[in-house]
A and B are shown apart, each in its own frame.
Chain A
């Protein structure tokens, strides 16, 4: 059953990729015809493929739940995959409200990236530690992920807005930051490529080193060590010797992964720039030619309006109820809790700026992008770097 479940996830992944292409076709097809009101045939096929992919992923989720005996949201792989699924689900819902194929061109690749990123982490089905043995596991985690996914739609719409709105003929702060966002996605792709390549090659190098408490410890590197651990010694000969040694306080293995990902991201980005001969955001501009700015602005805002209550319910209220049951107190300033609060405060500020200060259009789009960065920070950095009580969600 676990194997079938994995295959369904793989199927969903492929279908999302195909659907992206069809959504792309839907906009292309629009170009020659007159500006039509409803979605065309390409879009109809694209959304059907997306829905089939989504059903496949729901199948993965249910089968894995049955196989494990608990909801598959208990570690970083499972949570992130679920987040990707929720993102597709939220997209499907929003698509039926606004019927904009372009949103699919931007949302589905993000979902694909997220699922691929998730797959870089340990994928075994693990038994639940005592703190996780509760029905609140699936109630809290799924609602929180769904809330974040709906908020992420606002990012996709915000990004479309910016790509169309920002003037690419002159260099400006906006073009720079937009490229930074693009690079962020390319670097994620870089991480996925590098991890997959080295794991396919079966690279492994063990280091013995001295940790920050002065004790002996060991790291298993799955990528050649550009930076080595504090007083690190390669256990096996013939592997890549690190160029730099890090102080004991730094987690050398994670830093090494980050350097590899950024490096791969830079190379990829450089290649793309060479091929395209313009900024990434500029080369995406033709895609968004026909979209109504006003409409994407509204989609972005609407997603925040829909997502904010769901996020509050899942990431704060359900979280507090469970924390009271499992950890004796509903709030304990654990880093994950604090970052959920930060996300919530951020979107609260977003809504106030929009409702009362008239921050529409570009400003609102930038806020949607920043909000997504905060969500990603909470997903990635807080799990892998800051850790804390939620650290079992990491690897």
Chain B
């Protein structure tokens, strides 16, 4: 529709400001200006041309750099707000967030919590901001890159006089130079790696046009990055789970559907010892007291062999032994296990002896596996102990009865029934750490604490992230694009014969000082003047 035919014969799309081919100014408004706005080569951008339908309006809104910058600034300020107080994921899990913020930070903490700033980065409005930036990236880029590509692709060597004289760098040499000077000029241009095109004795020298695509390449990278981030919400793409595993224990690795098992052979915590370390560290270790050196879990990875029905202990096949340290995760089949936490000396087994309270005579010991206590321990000769109840993490509940807080044996307590030849009906005793209650009055026997066996527990994060390669690809493309756009400059020099005079004009997308210096060198020894700055001192472009 409404195509614009230039006098040079080239047919331009509707809305074109400068003819794609010869550069003639097609719009009245632009005629008035002393210098052309060369930003997108005067090409026809959709956003500058149509503004009727809703789609036009949405397109025009998001294609505006002004809107884009506002989105960036709002996101920036919002992000800063999220760092005033710690986010919910970083507060200690001692109490509900609602109470924590108020207790720690007073009215401000309460307000922070109520505004939802404790989870700012996953709030709907923050995600909406990021999504808007994504949309803006797509529309901004499309709005510009297509017409810009057309304009740079269709440009011809001989440019219109009106185009040349409205360039920032422009010059006219009074008399036409001889062939020798032109040859020298071309040689200089070539040695500066300009590509030269000629038409009727006119010259277009151009270099680094690819740098113009840098911004669009980096935007593509960012979009891929954001898509990668979005895919995280697709089930199965991202797994985040924690495995607490005791020394000696073999456990199914969560989220592997029972295919992989892990055995924790040993957990090691090392601290720096100033006697053993290099003496340069002595002062620092003295000052800090204790500095951790290594957190390490020695594990064995197993894979399930063959099929097994649920509940059956599967047959395991060893895959490998590995030492998991911070910075050295164990990797297998898209999963990674990271050393993230530990607990030293957790109670594991407890040894108690059946004892006559008066004579202190003992009738045998029982060792209770605190994770899997037997219900009865037979000591022979008519002595036996039955475990009536077991509370691994004992506390008195609100109703005054004993309960357990968790299944971790942090504070084990038992109700034993002790059967002996002289008390065959049994005596009941409640035994907790440093506490014994005898509900039926005075007993003749007791369970005396003998020893406890502890084990270290390692916490491993189980991670699978199928979005990583997309994120990495996005990052890589972004870097390529940003370097391409930032480290090279698109430079052009036009030389045209106009009625026996030689007109020259220069353009660069940025870094004008660099272009000017380069042109000085290129024109040196040709007997011609390099095109000169036309812009007033107070309105210069960088």
Residues of A within 8 A of B (CB): 2, 67-69, 98, 122, 124-127, 129-131, 133-134, 212, 249, 293-295, 297-298, 301-302, 305-306, 308-309, 312-313, 316-317, 320, 324-326, 328-330, 332-335, 338-339, 341-342, 345-346, 348-349, 352-358, 360-361, 364, 382, 386, 388
Contact = CB atoms under 8 A, between A and B. Distances in A.
Contacts of B75: 345
Size bracket, chain B contacts: 35 or more
Interface in B41-91: 65-66, 68-69, 72-73, 75-76, 79-80, 82-84, 86-87, 89-90
B106 interface: yes
B33 interface: no
A335 B83 contact: yes
Interface in B456-491: 461, 463, 465, 468, 471, 475, 478-479, 482-483, 486-487
Given A297-B540, A328-B338, A334-B90, 6 more contacts: A125-B281, A126-B281, A317-B475, A328-B461, A356-B65, A360-B541
Given A309-B483, A313-B479, A126 B291 contact: yes
B340 A249 contact: no
A161 B340 CA distance: 50
B284 interface: yes
A185 to B, nearest CB: 23
B111 to A, nearest CB: 15
Contacts of A349: 69, 72-73, 76
B542 A312 contact: no
B105 interface: yes
Interface string B5-49: 000000000000000000000000000000000010000000000
B433 interface: no
B283 A124 contact: yes
Contact of B291 (A67, A122, A127, A302): A127
Nearest to A386: B83
Contacts of A348: 72
A306 B487 contact: yes
A330 B281 CA distance: 31
B79 A338 contact: yes
Contact of B83 (A131, A324, A355, A382): A382
Contacts of B486: 305-306, 308-309
A334 B82 CA distance: 10
A388 B90 contact: yes
A360 B460 CA distance: 52
B542 A360 contact: yes
Nearest to A317: B475
Contacts, number: 153
Nearest to B481: A309
B511 A345 contact: no
A124 B79 contact: no
Given A69-B278, A125-B280, A127-B272, A309 B327 contact: no
B287 interface: yes
B295 A130 contact: yes
A362 B285 CA distance: 50
14 contacts: A122-B284, A126-B288, A129-B292, A130-B294, A297-B540, A308-B486, A309-B487, A312-B482, A328-B329, A333-B89, A338-B79, A348-B72, A352-B68, A356-B65
Contacts of B104: 212, 249
A125 B73 CA distance: 40
Chain B binding surface SS class: helix
B482 A130 contact: no
B277 interface: yes
Contact of B82 (A305, A316, A333, A358): A333
Centre residue among A125, A127, A302, A354 by max chain B CB count within 10 A: A127
Contact of A352 (B72, B327, B483, B540): B72
A125 B284 contact: yes
Nearest to A305: B486
B344 interface: no
B215 to A, nearest CB: 8
Contacts of A68: 280-281
Centre residue among A309, A320, A332 by max chain B CB count within 10 A: A309
A334 B280 CA distance: 31
Nearest to B329: A325
B434 interface: no
B121 interface: yes
B66 A345 contact: no
B325 interface: yes
A302 B79 contact: no
Interface in B273-306: 277-278, 280-281, 283-285, 287-288, 291-295
Contacts of A339: 80, 83
Contacts of B69: 349, 352-353, 357
Contacts of B336: 328
A387 to B, nearest CB: 9
B384 to A, nearest CB: 48
Contact of B327 (A134, A305, A306, A334): A134
Contact of B511 (A69, A302, A332, A360): A302
A289 B487 CA distance: 31
Interface string B515-542: 0000000000000000000000100111
A306 B104 CA distance: 43
Given A309-B483, A313-B479, A338 B83 contact: yes
A358 B277 CA distance: 58
A327 to B, nearest CB: 8
B510 interface: yes
A304 B218 CA distance: 16
A392 to B, nearest CB: 10
A364 B542 CA distance: 10
A59 B218 CA distance: 37
B277 A127 contact: yes
A53 B79 CA distance: 39
A130 B83 contact: no
A102 B440 CA distance: 94
Centre residue among A2, A129, A130, A339 by max chain B CB count within 10 A: A130
Interface string B321-341: 000011101000000101010
Contacts of B79: 338, 341-342, 345
A122 B287 contact: yes
A212 B463 CA distance: 36
A333 B121 contact: yes
A68 B106 CA distance: 44
A395 B68 CA distance: 39
A333 B338 CA distance: 19
B381 interface: no
A214 to B, nearest CB: 11
A333 B537 CA distance: 45
Contacts of A316: 475
B225 to A, nearest CB: 10
B267 interface: no
A345 B76 contact: yes
B463 A328 contact: yes
Contacts of B475: 316-317, 320
B479 A317 contact: yes
- Ranked 6 nearest A-B pairs via Cβ: A126-B284, A130-B326, A356-B65, A124-B284, A124-B283, A335-B83
Contact of A326 (B66, B84, B327, B541): B327
B328 to A, nearest CB: 8
Given A130-B326, A333-B87, A345-B75, A308 B482 contact: yes
Contacts of A297: 540, 542
Given A124-B283, A124-B287, A133 B90 contact: no
A346 B73 CA distance: 7
A388 B291 contact: no
B512 interface: yes
B482 A67 contact: no
B327 A249 contact: no
A361 B482 contact: no
A44 B84 CA distance: 47
A339 B79 CA distance: 8
A133 B482 contact: no
